[in-house]
Structure 1
Amino acid sequence: MQRRRFLTAAASAATAVLSPGCSQAPAPLVGGFAGIDMARGHALRDLLARGSLPAPAAQRRTRVLIAGGGIAGLAAARALRLAGVNDFALLELEDSAGGNSRAGSVLGRACPHGAHYLPVPGDSAPEVQNLLEELGLRQRVAGRWRYDEFTLCHSPQERLYWQGHWHAGLLPVDGVAPRTLAQYRLFAQRIRTLSRAAAFAMPTFADWGNNKAVAPIALALDAITFDTWLGGEGLDDPHLRWYLNYCCRDDYGAGSASVSAWAGIHYFASRHGFAAPGEGGEGAADDDSDGLLTWPEGNGFLVRKLAEPLAPGQQLRTGHSVLRITEQRHGVQVDALEHASGQVVRWQADQCVVALPVFIAARVVQNPPQFLRAAAAQLAWAPWVVTNIATNAPLTDRPGAAPAWDNVLYTEATPGGLGYVDAGHQRLGLGALLTAPTVLTYYEALGDVPGGRAQLARLPWQHWAEAAVAGLSGPHPDLRERVERVEVTRYGHAMAIPRPGGLKTLSKIGTQGNVDKRMRLSNGERQRPLPTPATARLAFAHADWSGYSVFEEAFTRGHGAGLRAAAG
């Protein structure tokens, strides 16, 4: 609380000196695109579209080939190492691994290029808990689990810019009508009731391997949109609906009119519920169970830790486009374009972990199994833009709540805007918080924006940079004059959108080919068997198989696929 009071006082002092001043034409922004190479991905698309792939110029051999270096692929590599299997190769399209959890830096300041936090995992995600324990971020103290206090998100965690002021938290509360508060309480009660009526686990498939059918109530919610369910419940308050729509766009890339009711409810019921004002909730417990883990570079910290043990150029091979995966009687044949040499390399392996987005897997796997075709037909993907804005000092603030890690605008100037996180928020020195340069990471989810993916490919980086700076200049009038550099990262297919029908389709697929065995790994922990969509020699692992993209889903699926490949 001292930190919060200090920041509030400092923000008030800064606001007192706000003045219009003399306006001058702003200097052009300096920056460019960063993070991923869209042209490289499109080259793969164009090669596949032609249907005539180059002949292999070299051949290599490994026991297990991992196709894809996102969180699922990195988790599979870790599982193989823990099982004592070091003869594997991981092929990644970009020049660094990590998927949409990548990170980078602007002017030497670390910042996320995508996912920026990890909720403290619950007991349904023991694989993630084990990872955090291995990294020293979780330990048992006096019989209770504690998480590294330097990694837990510092207070204040979030705030909302609304009606010209900053407000603590993201739920509009100050000055709202009694009916709004009543609807908040009603929604909280419905979440509690549904949490008891159906399993809303994180990861979603935690019980699928135990032959438990998906609850009928979950399938009924999966059949309609979240907006339809809210309307049927009489939950029509505009402030509540704004907040729920924001939550869906933030986690799923599309709003409450697009995602299923099951997904909208799962957002709350799978983690820490929904607390109406005055009812306690997140942060009310005396332990760390409701916390968020974050770093200046976001989940890029976890990517770095997962990639560090992998031998570069041997186990981890970046700059490779997987072109063809062919399952054979005695192994798997994988053709990949090595971008540095321009040659196609043919890999022979005993097993293959296909840790690729489902729409890519369906194109490169030869004679794809029916469950892969069904998943590709069901899913849709949201494009995203992540804009990192390096500033030479913290910004002048409008009145209200103190600067926070997560800063959201009730009325966004950009169609898909979701606000920004401050890469400098985890600093320990309060003096540095008020004076040091930082990076603001601004997020835009374009899943509901018509032509959003085409805009990503067509518009220059200046379009996205100018839109982000203009959108944030309302709450931060001195932003433009403090900007040093802007870097824009584009994701054409950032995450699967959990549309109606997705749970039904993917839950049927979830247990197909589940031949995992219980194993005791080199860290001494017995691992549970996990449902892994698979054929005889292919194990499929990606957050897409859960229908939406979060770390727990990707990591747990990759871990299970790695165990399966080790056992095969």
Structure 2
Amino acid sequence: MKRRHFLAAAAPLPLLGCAPSASDMRHITGGFTGIQVERGHQLRDTTAWPTPTVTHRTHTVIAGGGVAGLAAARALHLRGQDDFALLELEDGAGGNARGGAVGGIACPLGAHYLPLPSDDAPEVQDLLEELGLRQRVAGRWQYDERHLCHSPQERLFFNGTWQDGLLPVQGVGESTLVQYRRFSALVEQARNAAKWTIPIQNRPLAPVKRALAAMTFIAYLEQNGLTDPHLRWYLDYCCRDDYGAGIATVSAWAGIHYFASRHGFHAPGAESAEREGLLTWPEGNAWLTRRLAAPLGERLRTGCVVLRVAQGRHGVEVDAFNTATQQVERWQAQQAIVALPIFVAARVVEGAPDFLRQAAQRVVYAPWLVANIHIREPLRDRPGPAPSWDNVIYTEAGGGLGYVDAMHQSLHPVPGATVLTHYRALGDVAGGPSAGRKQLLEQPWTHWRDTILAELATAHPDLPAKATRMELTRYGHAMAIPVPSVAGQIGFQPSSDVRKQLSKKEQFTLAQGRLRFAHSDWAGYSIFEEAFTLGHVAGQA
């Protein structure tokens, strides 16, 4: 450690004091909320269900009320088809983009922002225009500034103080800066070699993408001599934040796609680029999903566990367990859109097509924990940039992903009580995703309370004393991790052998007969643009 680094790290130590003990946090109430894990486990563990007692008839059944299912419902409505039913496992629609409130303050339970979409995502652009988030002024698109992330946007607690942005730059050596510039050049090289889009649209892959999709991101970094610990920490953080697992788990395609499909990678000292615009709300992306769900009325059936999807010559049957009535209900329809996670779809679809079974065998899921922490008054702050929307702490690999401030979008002139939303990806803990799921199920909520507050107290020693409540949301299978593929494949489109068994239309719409499949899983990674576009395409098809 260089002397200046030691001094920078040592200076704040008198302020830190001892790490908070469990007794320091006993006054903080809370528990698990947001997800009814026992419903999914009931589907997994029950071998025999009662015979359906009620039969409903509709034109189309949508199984799954996440972003893809809601997008499919909207697409049906746009076509003038309103004779449909959407069946959702939880008590509210939205999937990973739902929201809640703690102490009367709205906060996200999952996804919390949406980057401004490019022209590669026209379906998402149309939605934003429909919701009044953008309009054309003097020939140019303008976004409603009330919904754009307010400044300051992000900061990093590094070497004992806050710095602007999330890339470690304060006090790093010239060798680190050289590696930053090297990685920036590699990203630009990849951008020049192929078109990188969101959504990926399942187009034939360029050779450069196939090669990257076949190796881990850390192997790619080794191959290019990128060994700097600060660069690797930042890239690992980006991958865990977007994909639920770090550079040793995700593919090199995923690591490059994170930058090449959006804003590139800008090394310090290079020509500065304007920071990427983000749409965000106190409740996160629930602002969007609630507006997608609102027009559905009684067509949205919540608390319905889909048990079986079967197609015949003249229609489809969907059986679902109604958690309110404790009865199995049957839906008869002309067609069905299966907007379920791939591993669930493979379980409930009778005679599952080969491409669905193949995908279910390959997909790897990241477990996640989202903690919403209510604090009664503002925290004392360290030197450096002002409190931001996104606040990240430089920790060892495997720690949390920092927190966002639910009240950052507020225009109130005097800061007060707020909710800090902390994210924790468990996709590459020791033992892998299954070990992460086991932790989520077996550890009491107080374990997570104490672990999270001890970590955040590194930057905010007064946080344990000012926190009043913590509510935790567990996602055992939050998102598909874009792991390497031997075949250099991205996502889970049918293989060439399976394509030969499908019609030309079915080959490119993830369909078989009267079934259409839609979920972000099919893209191989989980973001709003992928889920919404796949759902929209299924509804239009």
- Tell me, yes or no, whether TM beats 0.5: yes
Q: Who is 1:301 aligned against?
A: 287
Shift of 1:186: 1.1
- Checking the alignment, whether the CA contact within 8 Å between 1:391 and 1:485 is kept in structure 2 is yes
Shift of 1:504: 1.3
The superposition leaves residues 421-446 of structure 1 with CA deviations (integer Å, 9 ceiling, x where unpaired) of 00011111332xx3x11000000000
Shift of 1:44: 1.3
The list of structure 1 runs, each at least 4 consecutive aligned residues, that deviate by more than 4 angstroms after superposition, is 17-21, 510-517
CA distance in 1, matches of 2:17, 2:244: 37
Q: Who is 1:539 aligned against?
A: 516
Q: Who is 1:76 aligned against?
A: 72
Q: Who is 1:415 aligned against?
A: 398
Structure 1 segment 151-190 matched on structure 2, within 5 A: 151-190=147-186
User: Which of 411, 424, 441 is 2:407 aligned to?
Assistant: 424
Q: Call closer, same or farther: CA 1:73–1:508 in 2, change over 3 Å.
A: closer
- Checking the alignment, whether the CA contact within 8 Å between 2:62 and 2:86 is kept in structure 1 is yes
Pair 1:469-2:453 in alignment? yes
Q: Call closer, same or farther: CA 1:448–1:65 in 2, change over 3 Å.
A: same
Pair 1:551-2:537 in alignment? no
User: Which of 2, 20, 24 is 1:26 aligned to?
Assistant: 24
Shift of 1:377: 1.0
Identify which range, 113-122 or 179-188, moves more after superposition: 179-188
Q: Who is 1:4 aligned against?
A: none
- The TM-score with structure 1 as length reference comes to 0.88
Shift of 1:18: 6.7
CA distance in 2, matches of 1:441, 1:63: 40
AA of the residue aligned to 1:418: L
Shift of 1:509: 2.2
AA of the residue aligned to 1:72: A
Q: Secondary structure at the match of 1:403?
A: coil
Q: Who is 1:399 aligned against?
A: 383
- Structure 1 gaps, min length 5: 1-14, 285-289, 518-529
- Checking the alignment, whether the CA contact within 8 Å between 1:319 and 1:339 is kept in structure 2 is yes
CA distance in 2, matches of 1:465, 1:480: 10
Q: Call closer, same or farther: CA 1:168–1:102 in 2, change over 3 Å.
A: same
Pair 1:262-2:262 in alignment? no
AA of the residue aligned to 1:444: R
The superposition leaves residues 169-200 of structure 1 with CA deviations (integer Å, 9 ceiling, x where unpaired) of 00011111111111111111111110121221
Structure 1 segment 110-509 matched on structure 2, within 5 A: 110-205=106-201, 208=203, 213-283=204-274, 290-311=276-297, 314-411=298-395, 415-431=398-414, 434=415, 436-449=416-429, 450=431, 451-501=435-485, 504=489, 506=491, 508-509=493-494
Q: Call closer, same or farther: CA 1:421–1:406 in 2, change over 3 Å.
A: same
Shift of 1:61: 0.5
Q: Call closer, same or farther: CA 1:503–1:437 in 2, change over 3 Å.
A: farther
CA RMSD of the aligned region, Å? 2.1
- Checking the alignment, whether the CA contact within 8 Å between 2:457 and 2:463 is kept in structure 1 is yes
AA of the residue aligned to 1:553: E
Q: Secondary structure at the match of 2:365?
A: strand
- Checking the alignment, whether the CA contact within 8 Å between 1:514 and 1:532 is kept in structure 2 is no
CA distance in 2, matches of 1:352, 1:260: 33
Shift of 1:354: 0.3
- Checking the alignment, whether the CA contact within 8 Å between 2:491 and 2:525 is kept in structure 1 is no
Shift of 1:387: 0.4
The superposition leaves residues 481-540 of structure 1 with CA deviations (integer Å, 9 ceiling, x where unpaired) of 1111110000000000000018616364299568769xxxxxxxxxxxx94210011000
Shift of 1:82: 0.7
- Checking the alignment, whether the CA contact within 8 Å between 1:203 and 1:552 is kept in structure 2 is yes
Shift of 1:205: 1.3
Identify which range, 455-464 or 537-546, moves more after superposition: 455-464
AA of the residue aligned to 1:506: G
CA distance in 1, matches of 2:382, 2:447: 26
AA of the residue aligned to 1:230: L
CA distance in 2, matches of 1:265, 1:367: 37
Q: Who is 1:9 aligned against?
A: none
CA distance in 1, matches of 2:162, 2:513: 56
AA of the residue aligned to 1:372: L
Q: Who is 1:287 aligned against?
A: none
**Matched length:** 517
- The TM-score with structure 2 as length reference comes to 0.92
AA of the residue aligned to 2:511: A
CA distance in 2, matches of 1:269, 1:393: 40
